[in-house]
Amino acid sequence: METGLRSTQTRETRRRIILFPLPFQGHINPMLQLANILHTQGFKITIIHTEYNAPTHSNYPHFTFSSISDRFHEIEHQLPTIPSPDPGHFLNYLNRSCVDPFTDCLTGLLAESNNKGSIACLITDAGFYFTQAVADTLKLPRMVLRTGSLSCTTAYGVLPIFSKSKNSCFNLTTEDLDYEATVPEFPLLKVKDVMKMTINPKSYGYFLTNMLKEMKSSSGIIWNTFKELEEPSLKTICQEFPCPSFTIGPLNKYFSSSSSSLIEQDKTILSWLDTQAPKSVIYVSFGSAAQITKSEFQEVAHGLMNIGLPFLWVVRPRVVRGSEWLESLPERFQKEVGDRGHIVKWCPQQDVLAHPATGCFWTHNGWNSTLESICEGVPMVCSPCFTDQPINARYVSDVWKIGVLLEDGFERKGIQMALRRVMMDKEGEEMRERIRCLKEKVNLSLKKGGSSHQSLKRLVDYISLL
Ligand code: UDX
């Protein structure tokens, strides 16, 4: 994409930026997009990455890479065996296991750089909270990329389940909790939304507390969002975080995430979409990390059978707990659906969302998927699974009003009704119109003089002076 920005650095004076992504698809994509953007602005790029989920080097011949050992293989087998998500466990583990190899790697890179100041800064995922202490010791400025939304970050700061407030409703036993009650500290959310984020508030709370603390100590925060979408939350963050914030997103509008995909994308599906009527297809995907149970999977299948509309369904291998792929599909599924529905393991999501045939996105509301849907003006049906997804889903359904939230989880009647509301009802048309307006705002924000364009210019100037 033409950003209108020109580098002021010459080949001889170009400074290097070192980036360090968290090794998960939803974090690798925006970090590599940011790396590409900064490269177009004249910076040299080094990516430090873990062995686990390493990016494909040959897709980025213009970057240099350094791999570190993360010992993730020691706990990787726990990923599919945990009955419900405990993301804090894995994230805290990585923040411990990477300390020594990362410190050695960064020390080596600093020693190799021949002139002082040739490395401008380190940019890490905000979730790698341990890196602030390393950067301080090595006297290297550290900025962070926060891959989630501004609104979610403000919510994390006040949610009593994580901040251990004494009077919190979450101190009740699970049987006594009123799941439909609103959370006083963040009234947009219901108790059930917060309960969904993790089964282990202790480990996730520890992770979030450290992440927020070290974000505040950083030299600046880069956000994958645009000002017009989250202005009230941006104000809160600017008041509460002493370091500068740069809202330069959506990052996927500059560079596609295809080159950082960890799973091969099935591109053949685009020619099937070409044969479908405009806005007629339901696109279904629950992202790169969430898992569902066998009975939830079957409810999804029945919902899609019963709605009678064309669909493209991404069933990632092992997305169904205890299954390799499609073993749990109802027997009559294929026969009933015929050529009306297609199932793939992974697809070029941005191309699918941008395709004229796509009419709605049934999503888990990972932040990248949510933003990608907004960028293409596709209204959503929301099935958030964990971490930030329940918060993103509330914004989509209750604040921006560009989607319908499946309040009762995966249940075939509710699924059918929600899909109908978005695809066939007047209400769906109104959502489509609202998200079309947001899409226009995205495009304006990236044009010369727009908010994200200006923010990127400010970021480049800021890094150049670090
Ligand atoms: C994880 C967390 O679950 C999420 O809540 C957090 O915001 C980021 O990390 P993930 O499941 O990876 O999210 O979802 P998301 O953030 O939406 O990212 C998925 C990425 O994979 C998107 O960029 C999407 O375009 C891509 N994708 C998805 C594909 O390329 N092909 C597919 O078939 C599905």
Note the pLDDT tens digit of each residue in 143-184. Answer: 999 999 999 999 999 997 776 666 666 666 677 788 999 999
Nearest residue by C-alpha to atom 3 in ligand 1: 366
Flag whether 415 is in a domain: yes
Assess whether the C-beta atom of 368 lies below 6 angstroms from ligand 1: yes
Q: Which of 288, 362, 370, 395 to mutate to test the pocket of ligand 1 (most atoms within 8 A of CB)?
A: 288
438: left (phi over 0), alpha (psi -120 to 50) or beta: alpha
Residue 452 Cα to chain centre, angstroms: 18
Assess whether the C-beta atom of 350 lies below 6 angstroms from ligand 1: yes
Assess whether the C-beta atom of 285 lies below 6 angstroms from ligand 1: yes
Give the separation between CA 288 and CA 26, rounded to whole angstroms: 7
Do the Cβ atoms of 39 and 144 come closer than 8 Å?
Answer: no
Identity of the amino acid at 408: D
Q: According to the model, what pLDDT value does residue 2 have?
A: 45
Q: According to the model, what pLDDT value does residue 161 have?
A: 77
Q: Are residues 253 and 274 in the same domain?
A: no
Tokens 């017009």 sit on residue: 228
Q: Are residues 76 and 163 in the same domain?
A: yes
Q: Are residues 244 and 309 in the same domain?
A: no
pLDDT category, 129, cuts 50, 70, 90?
Answer: very high
CA of 28 to the centre of ligand 1 (A): 10
Do the Cβ atoms of 68 and 101 come closer than 8 Å?
Answer: yes
Q: According to the model, what pLDDT value does residue 7 have?
A: 62
Alpha-helical regions (H) of 261-379: 269-274, 294-307, 333-337, 349-354, 367-376
Do the Cβ atoms of 310 and 281 come closer than 8 Å?
Answer: yes
Q: Are residues 306 and 200 in the same domain?
A: no
pLDDT category, 10, cuts 50, 70, 90?
Answer: low
What would the pLDDT profile of 230-252 be if each residue is shown by its tens digit? Answer: 999 999 999 999 999 999 999 99
Burial of residue 434 (CB within 10 Å: 0-12, 13-18, 19+) is middle
**Nearest 10 degrees: Cα torsion 348, 351, 355, 358:** 50
Is the CA virtual torsion 192, 196, 199, 203 positive or negative? negative
Assess whether the C-beta atom of 388 lies below 6 angstroms from ligand 1: yes
Q: Are residues 81 and 132 in the same domain?
A: yes
- Identify whether 278 is preceded by a cis peptide bond (ω within 30 of 0): no
Structural element, H or E, at residue 462 = helix 451-465
Least confident segment among 70-74, 124-128, 215-219 = 70-74
Q: According to the model, what pLDDT value does residue 171 have?
A: 65
CA of 130 to the centre of ligand 1 (A): 24
Name 87's bridge partners: none
Q: Are residues 42 and 115 in the same domain?
A: yes
Q: Taking 80 as the threshold, does the pLDDT of residue 116 lie above it? A: no
Flag whether 1 is in a domain: no
Q: Are residues 225 and 290 in the same domain?
A: no
Q: Which of 368, 372, 383, 388 to mutate to test the pocket of ligand 1 (most atoms within 8 A of CB)?
A: 368
Q: Are residues 398 and 459 in the same domain?
A: no
76 backbone dihedrals φ, ψ, rounded to 5°: -55, -35
Nearest residue by C-alpha to atom 4 in ligand 1: 366
381: tokens are 């049906």
CA of 349 to the centre of ligand 1 (A): 9
Query: Closest ligand 1 atom to the C-alpha of 387?
Result: 5
125 is catalytic: yes
Find the mean pLDDT for residues 333-346: 97
What total number of domains does the chain contain? 2
Flag whether 7 is in a domain: no
CA of 136 to the centre of ligand 1 (A): 32
Neighbour tally for 243: CB within 10 Å: 15
Q: According to the model, what pLDDT value does residue 428 have?
A: 98
Give the separation between CA 310 and CA 465, rounded to whole angstroms: 53
Spatial CA neighbour of 320 closest among 342, 358, 350, 293: 293
Q: Are residues 457 and 415 in the same domain?
A: no
Assess whether the C-beta atom of 346 lies below 6 angstroms from ligand 1: yes
Q: According to the model, what pLDDT value does residue 71 have?
A: 84
Find the mean pLDDT for residues 278-285: 98
3-class secondary structure, 223 = strand
The one catalytic residue in 27, 49, 89, 302 is 27
Assess whether the C-beta atom of 148 lies below 6 angstroms from ligand 1: yes
Q: According to the model, what pLDDT value does residue 169 have?
A: 63
Q: Are residues 347 and 297 in the same domain?
A: yes
What would the pLDDT profile of 384-436 be if each residue is shown by its tens digit? Answer: 999 999 999 999 999 999 999 999 999 999 999 999 999 999 999 999 999 99
Structural domain containing residue 424: 269-442
Assess whether the C-beta atom of 159 lies below 6 angstroms from ligand 1: no
Identity of the amino acid at 218: S
Q: Which of 22, 24, 25 to mutate to test the pocket of ligand 1 (most atoms within 8 A of CB)?
A: 25
The one catalytic residue in 70, 125, 193, 388 is 125
Name 380's bridge partners: 361, 403
Flag whether 140 is in a domain: yes
Q: Taking 80 as the threshold, does the pLDDT of residue 37 lie above it? A: yes
What would the pLDDT profile of 314-337 be if each residue is shown by its tens digit? Answer: 999 999 999 999 999 999 999 999
Assess whether the C-beta atom of 245 lies below 6 angstroms from ligand 1: no
pLDDT category, 347, cuts 50, 70, 90?
Answer: very high
Nearest residue by C-alpha to atom 1 in ligand 1: 26
Flag whether 399 is in a domain: yes
Give the separation between CA 217 and CA 373, rounded to whole angstroms: 33
CA of 361 to the centre of ligand 1 (A): 13
Q: Are residues 305 and 333 in the same domain?
A: yes
Q: Are residues 212 and 283 in the same domain?
A: no
Tokens 């947009």 sit on residue: 188
Query: Closest ligand 1 atom to the C-alpha of 287?
Result: 11
Residue 55 maps to which CATH number? 3.40.50.2000
Give the separation between CA 41 and CA 14, rounded to whole angstroms: 10
3-class secondary structure, 426 = helix
Flag whether 340 is in a domain: yes
Flag whether 426 is in a domain: yes
Spatial CA neighbour of 148 closest among 77, 214, 85, 233: 233
Flag whether 305 is in a domain: yes
